[in-house]
Amino acid sequence: MNNDRRPETIAAADGIGQDVAFGALAPPLYLTSSYRFTGFENPGPYDYSRSCNPTRDQLARTLAKLEHGAGAIVVSSGMAAIDLVLSLLEPGDRVVAPHDCYGGTFRLLKLRAEKRQFEVTFVDQGNEAALDSALAQRPKLLLIETPSNPLMRVVDISILAAKAKAVGTKVAADNTFLSPALQQPILLGADFVIHSTTKYLNGHSDVIGGAVVAADEADAAALLKWAGITGVTGSPFDAYQTLRGLRSLFPRIERQQRSAGLIASFLEAHPCIEAVHYPGLASHPGRAIAVKQQRGFGAMLSFEIAGGRDGVKHFAESVRIFTLAESLGGVESLVAHPATMTHADMGSDARRAAGIQDNLLRLSIGLESEQDLIEDLTQALDRASFS
């Protein structure tokens, strides 16, 4: 593992200029299903792209280095990455997940548990007593998501990982919201890191993809083998695009989080806003943990707007630079309404239990001028409050 290089260097230049055939600077895109055997009973290093492909493998190597893992498996979506980790569970095994996790994760866990593929316990991981009693059931897997989507709650990965280890539970951390540029869960004790590469890693809103990074080499090999068996591996073209996007991860997210901090402060001072959830604000309950385990506060935030559903509707229909859309982590700023979009399938009871209110809006801050973004929010809030 070439971890003597600093992470910015790995993101920008890992795999550059290593093409054996022509010395291509950019790692080539290998669009092929199969590879010629060098002789009878004698395959070359590659045989079939469902299980291995040089372009996908390059992205996997780069991601493993950035997350300090022993290996990575590049798959077709973030959900496929979570499902790949869940393939470690057998009937009767238990997974403990945050009660306010990403809506798609919640839905997948609930539906697989209903099929009796494993048991699931949803818990408020910030509540120590609730977490301890869930871990007392000796689950096979603890799934962590910090900061959480959409409420930006922060939990202490190293404390949770130590508690899980003590009862023989493996730990998987969904690091989608921060990317390895801002948080490296394996260094804090996680066994697996999960990514929706759709978000910050690709960063240009033109790929759906995912990855699992494993701390342990045997775990990485086992998951890679299973991904090849089920065919959940990502396409070579998507891997090429994602590696291209990843080159600028650090400058993108650093600029985006600077704007997010300014926007969070602006919103907190605005009379039409009832609450702002951003770990960088002094008012945020998870700020101290974020300072300890993150390299920055990230570029995602959420807020509760005055005027209930009507306030939400008028705001969402008034923004001009922000686009009303799902997803996050791209170069363009987005606004989403979790209750009717990302977290609609969760159901209103589970949303209420998780604290996701109907007047909550989530922002993904892009690379536009922060003045333009603040002016856009100002005019949209003016319209929302006069309705």
Residues assigned a catalytic role: 50, 102, 174, 199
- In the list 179, 184, 196, 257, the residue contacting ligand PLP (rule: CB under 6 A) is 196
Q: Can you spell out the DSSP letters for 233-279?
A: BPPHHHHHHHHHHHTTHHHHHHHHHHHHHHHHHHHHT-TTEEEEE-T
Shortest distance in whole angstroms from residue 41 CB to ligand PLP: 39
CB neighbour list of residue 145: distance below 8 Å, 6 or more residues apart: 98, 101, 102, 105, 173, 174, 177
Whether the CB-CB separation of 10 and 62 falls below 8 Å is answered with yes
Nearest distance from C-beta of residue 50 to ligand PLP, angstroms: 19
* String marking each residue 18-57 x if it binds ligand PLP according to CB under 6 A: ----------------------------------------
**Of residues 196 and 294, the one with the C-beta less far from ligand PLP:** 196
Site for ligand PLP (CB under 6 A): which residue of 67, 100, 124, 174? 174
State how far the Cα of 34 lies from the Cα of 124, in Å rounded to an integer. 47
The residues in 135-164 that bind ligand PLP, with binding defined as CB under 6 A, are 145, 149
- Binds ligand PLP (CB under 6 A): choice among 7, 69, 78, 150: 78
Among 102, 106, 118, 322, binds ligand PLP (CB under 6 A): 102
Q: Does 125 bind ligand PLP (CB under 6 A)?
A: no
The dihedral sign for the CA sequence 218, 222, 223, 224: positive
Nearer to ligand PLP, 107 or 287 (CB): 107
Distance CA 69, CA 344 (A): 34
**Checking phi first, is residue 342 left (phi over 0); if not, alpha (psi -120 to 50) or beta?**
alpha
Residue 75 C-beta: closest distance to ligand PLP, Å: 9
49 CA to centre of own chain: 25
Residues 226-265 that bind ligand PLP (CB under 6 A): none
- Classify burial at 45, counting beta carbons within 10 Å of its beta carbon; exposed 0-12, middle 13-18, buried 19 or more: exposed
Binding residues (CB under 6 A) for ligand PLP: these are 77-79, 102, 104-105, 145, 149, 174, 176-177, 196, 198-199, 208, 210
